[in-house]
Amino acid sequence: MIAFVSGRVAAAGPDGAVIDVHGVGLSVQCTPATLAGLRVGDPAHVPTSLVVREDSLTLFGFADDDERGVFELLQTASGIGPRLALAMLAVHTPDALRRAVAAEDVTALTKVPGIGKKGAQRIVLELKDRLGGPVGGPGDVRAPARAEAWRDQVQMGLVNLGWSAKDADAAVDAVAADLDGGETPPVAALLKAALKKLSK
């Protein structure tokens, strides 16, 4: 297994990045929040999980080792493949998933695209005794640090996707204007909202 990749970020797209490891470009599929922390041209150390199929080898990248461990554990539940496991981590932090499963919070799990009520109940049944309890602080869904930390992450994500800093700033300002002052949405949702602003 490839446990991690270290190298320069050569490219970044909406669902993955290319890490240049000694002249070899490795394509890594990541969540939007993980991608927002990767800047093209900068060095990066990305924990990874290699998924082997008959017709493909796919490398998935994560913010840290805990996220990778949860990703691999999620796939032991019936009906959960790597894409769905990655989608779960795009919506929830590892600890938020642990809390949802421990509390049998089906509603939280069905916030993930592709997971219905029956699928969420099956995940709870199969993983309740295996995910363990939360290891970090409180927080329900993926959200950046308080204040305006999300702005930097979204702006960096847009620049990585090829938008100019000026356009990225304008999109971030437009998204910020739409927020109602309540709980900040996940970085992934904010990034998608910014991309919609730019595509108009």
Question: What average pLDDT score do residues 186-198 get?
Answer: 82
> What H or E segment, with its residue span, contains residue 61?
strand 56-61
CA 164 – CA 78 distance, rounded (Å):
43
- Secondary-structure class of domain 148-199 per CATH: mainly alpha
- The residues spanned by each domain of the chain are 4-61, 65-128, 148-199
Q: What are the tens digits of pLDDT across the range 114-128?
A: 999 999 999 999 998
Looking at domain 65-128, its CATH superfamily turns out to be 5' to 3' exonuclease, C-terminal subdomain (1.10.150.20)
- Model pLDDT, residue 144: 41
Q: What is the CATH number of domain 4-61?
A: 2.40.50.140
pLDDT tops 80 at residue 172: yes
Q: What proportion of the chain, given as a percentage, has pLDDT over 70?
A: 90
Question: What average pLDDT score do residues 92-112 get?
Answer: 91
Question: What average pLDDT score do residues 159-173 get?
Answer: 83
Per residue, the 3-state secondary structure of 144-194, as one string, reads CCCCCHHHHHHHHHHHHCCCCHHHHHHHHHHHHHHCCCCCCCCHHHHHHHH
- In sequence order, the β-bridge partners of residue 85 are none
- Model pLDDT, residue 136: 58
Q: What is residue 93's DSSP assignment?
A: -
- Model pLDDT, residue 145: 38
pLDDT tops 90 at residue 82: yes
- Model pLDDT, residue 31: 83
pLDDT tops 80 at residue 187: no
Q: What proportion of the chain, given as a percentage, has pLDDT over 90?
A: 44
- Model pLDDT, residue 27: 95
pTM of the model: 0.68
Name the more confident of 30 and 14.
30
Distance of CA 135 to the CA centre of its chain: 18
pLDDT tops 50 at residue 147: no
- Model pLDDT, residue 168: 84
CA 98 – CA 69 distance, rounded (Å):
12
Task: Say if residue 171 is exposed, middle or buried (CB neighbours under 10 Å; 0-12, 13-18, 19+).
Answer: buried
pLDDT tops 50 at residue 12: yes
pLDDT tops 50 at residue 142: no
Q: What are the tens digits of pLDDT across the range 58-76?
A: 999 998 899 999 999 999 9
Q: Is 65-128's fold the same as 148-199's?
A: no
pLDDT tops 90 at residue 4: yes
Contacts of 90 (CB under 8 A, 6+ apart): 31, 32, 33, 112, 142, 186, 188
- Model pLDDT, residue 149: 66
User: Using alpha carbons only, how large is the chain's radius of gyration in Å?
Assistant: 17
